[in-house]
Amino acid sequence: MTRCGFVAIVGRPNVGKSTLMNRILGQKISITSRRPQTTRHQVTGIKTEGEAQTIYVDTPGIHIQTRDRNKAINRFMNQAATQALRDVNAVVFLVDRTRWTEEDEVVLQRLEHVKAPVILAVNKVDRLQDKASLLPWLESIGARREFAAIVPISAKHGTNVTELEAEVARHLPESVHYFPEEQITDKSQRFLAAELVREKVMRQLGDELPYQMTVEIEEFRDEGRVIHISALMLVERQGQKKILIGENGERIKSIGREARLDMERALDAKVMLNLWVKVKRGWSDDERALKSLGYDLD
């Protein structure tokens, strides 16, 4: 009897959703950084073990749209996360230890009308100084709604992640598998290449460069043993372009070097990577521009 189902991983920004999915899959599919809102798209990760195939959907962090976070791209991220809750067989709601924020409350409200069972996963418990404080907090949060299960975990170190997967598996329906056993994502190699470049920018320049930066793959040519990739980094102002290039081009070289190494590991081939920077004013608040850059819920 084969089983297969969709599971949405939701939570506020920077709570560890992408780290959790990468841990479950055993390799990097979703990019990560210390900056909130690193994930901008729904990213699908597929895990097949024996008779069961679980299709995880990593989502952008659901966030409050304040004056400085009310651009088209912010609306897109919230819509992408909410859309992922439709027609799933289970939801993993990820929160951070004993910290409950206003944005956690927003996520909880979004889950009110979800018919699928919701599993509460409490992340980063390895960082908890006072372990005794966890139980009363779990009881208080458990009173907010009926959860199918509450599982304390550490996505980074793998603590209790197997137990979380076992809880998820209980809610998978009988079904044929939707994907081949060896497939781990439905995203293209072009998409993964663009995300790896953006990850390096977020990690190296997260404090200096605002969120108005995205990456577009202009060339992806696979010649067998060598893949040629040209990536265009779009920013909104000339000053941001200077930051990305760095003094004597050192920053863009560093970003390219780190991205290329990750690409070679992910694509299992030698990569020749060329990076460019271009100013495209207002792209992050222009819905037509967003669609042309791949920010499309369809």
Same domain, 78 and 128: yes
Domain membership of residue 233 (yes or no) is: yes
How confident is residue 183, by pLDDT bands cut at 50, 70 and 90? very high
Q: What is the DSSP letter of 186?
A: S
Last residue of a domain, one of 171, 197, 214: 171
Does 15 show up as a binding residue in the annotation? yes
Q: Determine the structural domain holding residue 268 and report its residue range.
A: 189-293
Closest by Cα among 188, 180, 193 to 273: 193
User: What are φ and ψ of residue 145, in 5° steps?
Assistant: -160, 170
Same domain, 151 and 197: no
Q: What is the mean pLDDT of the chain?
A: 86
Does 12 show up as a binding residue in the annotation? yes
Does 62 show up as a binding residue in the annotation? yes
DSSP for 74-137, written as a single string: HHHHHHHHHHTTTT-SEEEEEEETTB--HHHHHHHHHGGG--S-EEEEEE-GGG-S-GGGHHHH
Same domain, 59 and 111: yes
Domain membership of residue 298 (yes or no) is: no
Instruction: List all residues 6 or more positions away from 129 whose beta carbon is below 8 Å from its beta carbon.
Output: none
| For residue 67, pLDDT beyond 70 | no
Same domain, 193 and 154: no
Does 123 show up as a binding residue in the annotation? yes
Same domain, 162 and 227: no
Same domain, 35 and 162: yes
Number of domains in the chain: 2
Domain membership of residue 181 (yes or no) is: no
Angle at 104 between CA 7 and CA 115, to 5 degrees: 40
Residue 221: CATH number of its domain: 3.30.300.20
Please report the pLDDT score of residue 61 as a whole number. Answer: 63
Measure the CA–CA gap between 229 and 220, rounded to whole angstroms: 5
Domain membership of residue 226 (yes or no) is: yes
Does 186 show up as a binding residue in the annotation? no
Does 16 show up as a binding residue in the annotation? yes
Same domain, 164 and 30: yes
Does 242 show up as a binding residue in the annotation? no
Domain membership of residue 177 (yes or no) is: no
Which range (39-43, 141-145, 187-191, 205-209) has the least confidence? Answer: 39-43
| For residue 63, pLDDT beyond 60 | no
Look at the chain and count its residues: 298
Domain membership of residue 182 (yes or no) is: no
Which range (169-173, 266-270, 293-297) has the least confidence? Answer: 293-297
Does 256 show up as a binding residue in the annotation? no
Please report the pLDDT score of residue 247 as a whole number. Answer: 93
Does 14 show up as a binding residue in the annotation? yes
Closest by Cα among 98, 100, 103, 91 to 146: 91
Same domain, 142 and 257: no
Does 47 show up as a binding residue in the annotation? no
User: From residue 177, how far is each of 128, 166, 174, 272 by CA, in Å?
Assistant: 39, 18, 9, 36
Does 18 show up as a binding residue in the annotation? yes
Domain membership of residue 58 (yes or no) is: yes
Please report the pLDDT score of residue 33 as a whole number. Answer: 66
Does 74 show up as a binding residue in the annotation? no
Measure the CA–CA gap between 175 and 129, rounded to whole angstroms: 43
| For residue 292, pLDDT beyond 90 | no
Please report the pLDDT score of residue 94 as a whole number. Answer: 95
Same domain, 118 and 236: no
Same domain, 57 and 115: yes
Residue 138: CATH number of its domain: 3.40.50.300
Same domain, 167 and 218: no
Does 246 show up as a binding residue in the annotation? no
Closest by Cα among 226, 201, 203, 223 to 214: 201
User: From residue 275, how far is each of 215, 231, 245, 251, 253 by CA, in Å?
Assistant: 10, 5, 10, 11, 8
Over residues 2-50, the pLDDT tens digits come to: 999 999 999 888 889 889 999 999 988 886 766 666 666 678 899 999 9
Same domain, 9 and 144: yes
Measure the CA–CA gap between 241 and 263, rounded to whole angstroms: 23
Does 197 show up as a binding residue in the annotation? no
Over residues 114-173, the pLDDT tens digits come to: 889 999 999 988 888 777 788 888 888 888 889 999 999 999 999 999 999 999 999 999
Domain membership of residue 263 (yes or no) is: yes
